[in-house]
Amino acid sequence: MMKRRVVVTGIGAVSPVGNDATASWKNVLAGNSGIGPMTRLNPDNYSAKVAAEVKDFDIEKYVEKKEARKMDRFTHYALAASLMAVEDSGLKIDDSNANKIGVWIGSGIGGMETFENQFETFQKRGYRRVSPFFVPMMIPDMATGQVSIYLGAKGVNSCTVTACATGTNSIGDAFKVIQRGDADAMIAGGAEAPITQMAVAGFCANTALTTNPDPKTASRPFDMNRDGFVIGEGAGIVVLEDLDHALQRGAKIYAEIVGYGSTGDAHHITAPAPGGEGGARAMKIAIEDGDLALEDIDYINAHGTSTPYNDKYETMAIKEVFGEHAYKLAISSTKSMTGHLLGAAGGLEAIFSVLAIKEGILPPTMNYETPDPDCDLDYVANEARKAEVKAVLSNSLGFGGHNATIAFKKYE
C-alpha cells in the first residue's frame, strides 16, 4: 500500500520561553533562557530551587473564565497551543471534514495540581466538597478531549502517556494515523503542568532535578558539570496533514514528517539502558521508516536533559547509529533554555526541529562551558548557527524505558 505523505502545516506553543511558537523560537535562537527562581512553590521546601515556568499566560484570551475553571493548567496550555496551531495552519473544521480530523495530545502526569488541591479539600471538608469536575480535570486524556470539543474535531481521538517521550510518541502516532489513511489532519503534541508540590517533591526525592540554585547555569546539557534537569511546563502542538489535502487548500508547509521510531529499553524504571541502546534503535527505525540515509541527517534535537546518564548515553547512541557521520552532525538541547517540559518536551522540540529546517538555522545548547570527554560531539555550543538543514531527528526518552524519535525533512 502506498504510504501517504504527511506535512506540518501549523504550530502552536505555550512555553517558558514564550507564549506562542514565534516568541519561543526567537528566544531560543537568541539564547534567552526561560529558567528562573521557582515561584509557583516555596523553594525552601525542596532541594531544587529553580524552574522553567510559563509567565504572564492568560487562559481567558482563549476560553471563558467559567470554562477555564473546569480545567487543569495542563489543559489550559494544550488548548491555547492547539487553537494557535490550527489558526496558524488555516485549517477550517466544519461538518464537511470534522470526521477526518483528529486529536492526539499526551501528558506525562496530567492534572497533578488538581489532584493535590482536591485531596486537600477532601481531607479538610469531606467527599461532598470535592469538585464534580475533579476526575475530568485530572485525567491525562482531557487535553485531547477539550481540544476536540472546542475545535469540533471528531476523528481519531487519543492520548499517549509515556513519561518524557509522550510528546514525540503522540506526534509519531498521529503521523501514522494520517499515513495509513484514517485521518486527513491531526492536532498533535504534548502538554504538562508539573510544577506542583508532589511532582517536584517526587523528582527531588529521586535526585533527577538539579540542585544548582543559579537559574543561568542550572540546565547545562552535555556539560561536564551537569547535575540534573530543570522542571518546566507548557505545551507544544503541531498540525499534521495529508500532503494532498494540504496542497488542495493551499496551506503553507513547514516541513515533511517522514519517519517514526518507538522502542522499549526493558531495563529499569528510571535509568536509560547502558549505552542508550534503546534510543539508538528508535533512531535507526525512524531513519529507515523515512527512507533516509545516515548522511541525510544534518541535525538532531537531542533529548539532552542535563542529567549525567542521559546525555552520556544519548551521545553514545548517536555514535552507535551514525558512526563517523556522528562527528559531522549538529546536535543541540533546547532544554538548556526551556527546561524539561516532561510530556510536553517532544511537542515543543518538534516545533524547533521544523523551524530549523524551514529557516536554515540551528538553535544552540546554552551553558556549554566545560567539555565532558564522554560527550564529544558538536552540540552547537552557546550560539545559534546558520546551516542548510535537509533532515532532522528529534529524540525523546522517558521513565519506564520509553524511547521515541521522529524524523522531519525539507518539503520538496
Known catalytic residues are 164
Q: How far apart are CA 342 and CA 162, in angstroms?
A: 10
Residues 6+ apart with CB under 8 A from 225: 369, 370
User: Is residue 246 within 8 Å of residue 4, measured between CB atoms?
Assistant: no
User: Is residue 207 within 8 Å of residue 228, measured between CB atoms?
Assistant: yes
Strands, E, within 77-217: which ranges?
Answer: 101-106, 157-158, 185-192
Nine cell digits for residue 329: 552532525
Q: Name the residue with cell 481540544.
A: 147
Q: 58 by DSSP, 3-state: which?
A: coil
Beta-ladder partners of 36: 51
Residues 6+ apart with CB under 8 A from 95: none
Q: What angle separates helix 112-125 from helix 197-205, to the nearest 10 degrees?
A: 110
Nine cell digits for residue 229: 534537569
Pairing assessment for the beta strands 50-52 and 234-242 based on DSSP bridges: unpaired
Q: How far apart are CA 317 and CA 133, in angstroms?
A: 44
Q: How far apart are CA 252 and CA 39, in angstroms?
A: 39
Residues 6+ apart with CB under 8 A from 51: 35, 36, 37, 38, 39, 40, 41, 195, 200, 230, 231, 232, 233, 339
Residue 169 has φ and ψ, to the nearest 5°, of -60, -40
Q: 261 by DSSP, 3-state: which?
A: strand
